[in-house]
Amino acid sequence: MKSQKKQIALFTALLVLLASFLAGPPAQAISTSTSTIVLYVDQKGAFIDDKQIQLEVPATIIKDKMFVPAKFLGDALGFEVNWNDASRNIEMKPPGYNIVLNSDKKKATINGIDTPFDSVAAIVKGKLLVKLTWVADYMGAEYTYDDKLRSVNIVYTANPESIYVEQDGNSNPVARFTTAKPTYRIGEPINYVDLSYDPDAEGVHYEWFGKQEAFFAAGKYPVSLQVTDFHGHKSQLFASYVTVVDVPYLTEAEYPFYTKPVGGSIRTTNWGLPWSRFDELPRLPKAVTPGTDRKLLLSNSPEEFTQAGVLYQDQVSGKARLYANHINGSNQKMTMAILVVNSSNEPITLRTTSKGTVTSSVYTNIIGNNAAIDLLLQDSYDEELIVPPNRTLVYAQLPNFYPGEAANLFYDIETDGALKFAFVAAPEISLDTLLDLPQLANTGDTRGTFPVTELDWKIDASSFSKASIVTIGDNKTDPYTKGNDATTMQITENKGNQGVIYKIHADKPRKMAIMVLARGGVFSGSFKINGKFVKAPASGVMTSFDGMQILARTTGKEEALEIEFTPPGGSVFPIDLVFYPLDDK
């Protein structure tokens, strides 16, 4: 009698433990695929497929029958095992069955039919065990016993639940995926193969758990997927694993340089090097040849004008580039124009070979970048204007220049005589404008006439072995070109080398990734790389705190690398081009 009371007390304690355990997160059940469960007699170690489990109480033999922990078997085979506090019953629900175990009455009830408790269950060390063959038969599982190993193997294929939703005549979607390979190396990109579907062909929304592009330590990583259709019906959670073997492929620091798409960004802090220390990186050697066959008239001071006036003016004879960048800082609508003056007694031919203009806007970075793209395009353009002797003509005009808006424009021209060009801003433009408007003072921005409109850089990118840089616009490794302010007759600098096209050339470049880092501040620009344009960034602006953006990759088989760039108005310099060597992987 004492023994029976002790057994009942232990059983009651077990039920309390079960109730608290069941209140936590449920263990993962087997999905609609075949799995193998291995249990060892009197050993706590067990396996579900190749995942090892530690049992609270091992499987054991009672009267030549194997008994196993009830909760573990329910979790492993995917059926509910619940404690009902009101009735003091344990309820087990294999598919198609309702099993109730009652400790007080010492009986088990299967779909309303009673059977002796001891024939199907037992209390061992205070834990509930159930007879394996009894439950496995209900589940349709196959099992074999290995006498030498004293182990039992259970092979079970779960039946999928119905996906049909009777309430609205729709179906639940089905989540499925696999990986392209059974194992992956450390840092190797994982190729997830999506096998999900919606029987109603409505499309699904994906929600992943544990999914990563790559894993950077060996191990077995759980990854789950649930999909939801447009009606809000959710699939069952589909769980699998990504197995990463202990074979190095890429480190976490290397990974983005090999895998990020062009236009993607790389956080410099993840690389272990703050942006402020990028000037400590080695610099690729370069040879610089300035292009001086065309001079540059640059009008950018006052960058923000507050009154009508002449912004800049100088004389051209031969080839020149007219480049202007201004903001209407007045309180009225203005128009900006370029006037051309022929003071000779002979007609002079003015040819325009290239031009770039954008609609004025308050977004200075956008219009600066768009004008820069036009400059790099250098589309074939040929327009001829005959300037009569002793005449002033309006060469170009931008109407509707509202307060707060910026304008950015350039024209490449050729003349067969001396012509004066004047950049002016006024409410209205007439042929007497130059006589009526004052010359505005230089306020410290860039203004003047410069001898250089092109910088050819020959860099050696064939055999470097460490991340290296070249810097644009720092006035140290890339000095500002010097010129003359024709209105004050003072020497001036082209800060940032505005209106200058950089042509960077490398013979037989090695395999590498090429990035841009906006070290000076806000930046929005475009690069022409082997004939293709890449915006940095694709939209908006970037700063040094946004990290580096990938511009291109080389394969190591190209004959040459060609990068063309011109500093866009509205951006802050310097910028770094970062060259990161890549190995064959």
Q: In this structure, what CATH number is given to the domain that contains residue 312?
A: 2.60.120
- Average the pLDDT over 319-336 and give the result: 94
The residue that leads in pLDDT, 185 or 83, is 185
Q: Do 405 and 460 belong to one domain?
A: no
pLDDT at position 19: 34
Task: Give me the CATH number covering residue 210.
Answer: 2.60.40.10
- Average the pLDDT over 503-520 and give the result: 96
pLDDT at position 145: 80
Residue where a domain terminates, one of 157, 179, 214: 157
Q: Alpha-carbon distance 208 to 221, whole Å? A: 13
> How many separate domains does the chain show?
4
**Would residue 295 count as lying in a domain?**
no
Alpha helices (runs of H) in 215-351, residue ranges in sequence order: 255-259
Q: Do 408 and 477 belong to one domain?
A: no
Closest by Cα among 326, 306, 329, 402 to 368:
326
Residue where a domain terminates, one of 116, 131, 157: 157
pLDDT at position 6: 37
pLDDT at position 270: 54
The DSSP bridge partners found for residue 523 are 542
Q: State CA 52 to chain mean position distance.
A: 36
Alpha helices (runs of H) in 332-489, residue ranges in sequence order: 364-377, 433-436
Please check the confidence at residue 566 and state whether its pLDDT lies above 90.
yes
* Structure confidence by residue, pLDDT tens digits, 404-428: 998 888 999 999 999 999 999 999 8
- To the nearest 10°, the Cα dihedral for 417, 480, 284, 545? -120
Tell me 198's DSSP state: -
pTM of the predicted model as reported, rounded to 2 decimal places: 0.70
Q: Do 264 and 376 belong to one domain?
A: no
Most confident segment among 64-73, 367-376, 477-486: 477-486
Q: Do 216 and 241 belong to one domain?
A: yes
pLDDT at position 303: 92
Q: Do 191 and 243 belong to one domain?
A: yes
Confidence class for position 372, pLDDT limits 50, 70, 90: confident
Q: Alpha-carbon distance 47 to 41, whole Å? A: 13
When the pLDDT of each residue in the chain is averaged and rounded to a whole number, the result is: 85
Q: Do 242 and 271 belong to one domain?
A: no
**Would residue 269 count as lying in a domain?**
yes
Q: Do 280 and 231 belong to one domain?
A: no
Q: Do 411 and 482 belong to one domain?
A: no
Most confident segment among 105-114, 136-145, 233-242, 481-490: 481-490
Q: Is the dihedral of CA 395, 398, 400, 405 positive or negative?
A: negative
Q: Do 119 and 225 belong to one domain?
A: no
pLDDT at position 25: 32
Tell me 64's DSSP state: T
Please check the confidence at residue 442 and state whether its pLDDT lies above 60.
yes
The residue that leads in pLDDT, 521 or 127, is 521
| Percentage of the chain exceeding pLDDT 90 | 50
* Structure confidence by residue, pLDDT tens digits, 152-185: 888 766 555 555 555 566 778 888 888 888 899 9
Q: Do 59 and 119 belong to one domain?
A: yes
pLDDT at position 546: 85
pLDDT at position 75: 80
Q: Do 457 and 494 belong to one domain?
A: yes
Q: Alpha-carbon distance 441 to 261, whole Å? A: 47
Listed in order, strand segments (DSSP E) in 3-126 are: 34-40, 45-48, 51-54, 60-62, 65-69, 80-84, 89-93, 99-102, 107-110, 113-116, 121-124
Residue linked to tokens 């779909």: 111
* Structure confidence by residue, pLDDT tens digits, 477-505: 999 999 999 999 999 999 999 999 999 99
* Structure confidence by residue, pLDDT tens digits, 540-559: 889 888 889 999 999 999 99
* Structure confidence by residue, pLDDT tens digits, 275-289: 556 668 899 999 999
Q: Alpha-carbon distance 361 to 358, whole Å? A: 9
pLDDT at position 278: 65
Q: Do 418 and 533 belong to one domain?
A: no
Residue where a domain terminates, one of 116, 138, 157: 157
Lowest mean pLDDT among 58-62, 111-115, 303-307, 537-541: 111-115
* Structure confidence by residue, pLDDT tens digits, 12-59: 333 333 333 333 333 333 344 567 788 888 898 888 877 788 888 888
**Would residue 447 count as lying in a domain?**
no
Q: Alpha-carbon distance 60 to 491, whole Å? A: 96
Longest dimension (CA), the chain: 133
Task: Give me the CATH number covering residue 123.
Answer: 3.30.457.10
* Structure confidence by residue, pLDDT tens digits, 199-253: 777 778 999 999 999 999 999 999 999 999 888 888 888 888 899 999 999 999 8
The residue that leads in pLDDT, 205 or 101, is 205
pLDDT at position 383: 92
Look at strands 319-328 and 304-305 and give their pairing: parallel
pLDDT at position 4: 41
**Would residue 296 count as lying in a domain?**
no
Structural domain for 60, as ranges:
2-157
**Would residue 14 count as lying in a domain?**
yes
